[in-house]
Structure 1
Amino acid sequence: MNSAISILRDCVVPATPTRSQNRVQRRVEKGAQSDDFVSKSGKLLRGGIEMKQAIGRELRQGPDSVGRAKRGASNESEAKNQDVARQLAWEIAAINVHLEEIRYFWARTLGISGPQWMILMALADLDQGEGVPVKVVSKMLHVDPSFVTTQSKMLEKKGFMRRKTSEEDARIVQMSLTDKTYKLIAGLASEQEALNNFIFAEFSDRELSELTGKLAALKKRLEKASLKVTMGI
């Protein structure tokens, strides 16, 4: 009877553990805690390694990929600029051809050549009543002074201009247009004005002024570029 009651009590209320059982239990609990610590430590270690690897990849790839993107954008922009520059050069070359055709048309009306017409136009723009030196005209036309000298002598023979030695320096020859030439140019003024209005019809005065300024700046850069090419730089 007592043994039966003892068995029943043990089923309802856990029996008090012995010392040996307590030691075993503590070892089991410590082992479980140790395993749990090792498991957590392993997870933290793996997480740290993965994070370190990710940061390493970002450090290796990040700046490089950004650099590649910037270089790619820069190269693409430079390529576009080169294309635009080539197109602009072709447009300027075409404009020069058409201007040359127009110059020869006006020159034929006077029975002279295109370059001779340009010399007359330069004198008409530059002369302030005292004549214009050969060097000044040659600089404006971007030709050698000897060319201007030769052509101006031919124009003088045809009665289109006067040549006289400067009173201040005998080495300088002053050129000026004759009254005959001024009258001929004045007779063409209305036709030239009508043609200019047609050519620049799509430009306002402000736009035309800005375009002229841009072209003047481009001309200066081209002059410097020509010197660089000549000097082999």
Structure 2
Amino acid sequence: MTPPPNTVSRAALLVEGSDEAFRAMVDDLTHFASRLQQIREALARQMGVTAPQYAVLMALARRPPNTPVGVKDLASRLRVSVPFIVTETKKLEALGFVSKRPVADDRRKIDIVLTDKGSRAIEAIGDRQRAVNDVLFSSLNVTKFSALRTIASELLNSCDRAFELAEK
């Protein structure tokens, strides 16, 4: 039986002409991403929200206190659509975690801010987040952490083009 063709052609990604190590790395990344999503879902459940709502809350929490953020900016930061943010923030508003304010100089736009309840929920999950992240990334030292940040950013930047190629 003929072995399947290599899944990559770049020499830097082949070991002695084989893509076996590359495929193993992709499998590891895929499993890591899946487990990371499961972890985020578990943390979200602790807060009484969904994983996408958790992502919205965390993005808002990392802003300076009481600093509003526009729907478009939030969508861009989370790499999702504006309608998605509108839908999720409506749900978060109904739960009392965020409030929406019209932008003073453009009443068509809305800013989103954490409410006191939203801030308290984020504070309440903080110890668990720290414990989870400390375990999840326990294998990283300063050098590995810096390298991983760079590599993750670079890989993320190539995703859109790769997706376009996959969709053709």
Alignment partner, residue 222 of structure 1: 159
SS at match of 1:202: coil
Which of the two has greater strand per residue? 2
Alignment partner, residue 40 of structure 2: 103
Kindly provide the CA deviation profile for residues 109-128 of structure 1, in whole angstroms up to 9, marking residues without a partner as x. 12211111111111112456
- Which letter maps to 2:24? Q
Alignment partner, residue 73 of structure 2: 136
- Give the length in aligned residue pairs: 156
Structure 1 residue ranges (4+ consecutive) displaced by more than 3 angstroms after TM superposition: 76-79, 82-85, 126-129, 227-230
Alignment partner, residue 125 of structure 1: 62
CA deviation after TM superposition for structure 1 residue 78, in Å: 7.9
Higher relative contact order (CA 8 A, sep 6+): 2
- Range with greater deviation from structure 2 (162-171 or 84-93): 84-93
SS at match of 1:171: strand
Aligned match for 1:205, one of 118, 142, 147: 142
SS at match of 2:100: strand
In 2, are the aligned partners of 1:138 and 1:144 still within 8 Å (CA)? yes
SS at match of 1:97: helix
Q: Does 1:94 align with 2:31?
A: yes
What is the distance in 2 between the residues matched to 1:98 and 1:187? 23
In 2, are the aligned partners of 1:127 and 1:176 still within 8 Å (CA)? no
Where structure 1 has 5 or more consecutive residues not aligned to the other structure, the ranges are: 1-73
User: Quick one: percent identity of the two aligned structures?
Assistant: 27
**TM-score, scaled relative to structure 1:** 0.60
Alignment partner, residue 114 of structure 2: 177
Q: Does 1:166 align with 2:106?
A: no
Alignment of 1:9-158 (within 5 A): 79-80=17-18, 82-126=19-63, 129-158=66-95
Which of the two has greater helix per residue? 1
CA deviation after TM superposition for structure 1 residue 77, in Å: 5.2
Where structure 2 has 5 or more consecutive residues not aligned to the other structure, the ranges are: 1-10
Alignment partner, residue 7 of structure 2: none
Alignment partner, residue 8 of structure 2: none
What is the distance in 2 between the residues matched to 1:168 and 1:216? 35
What is the distance in 2 between the residues matched to 1:192 and 1:213? 23
SS at match of 2:111: strand
- Greater CA radius of gyration, 1 or 2? 1
**TM-score, scaled relative to structure 2:** 0.81
Alignment partner, residue 131 of structure 2: 194
CA deviation after TM superposition for structure 1 residue 139, in Å: 2.0
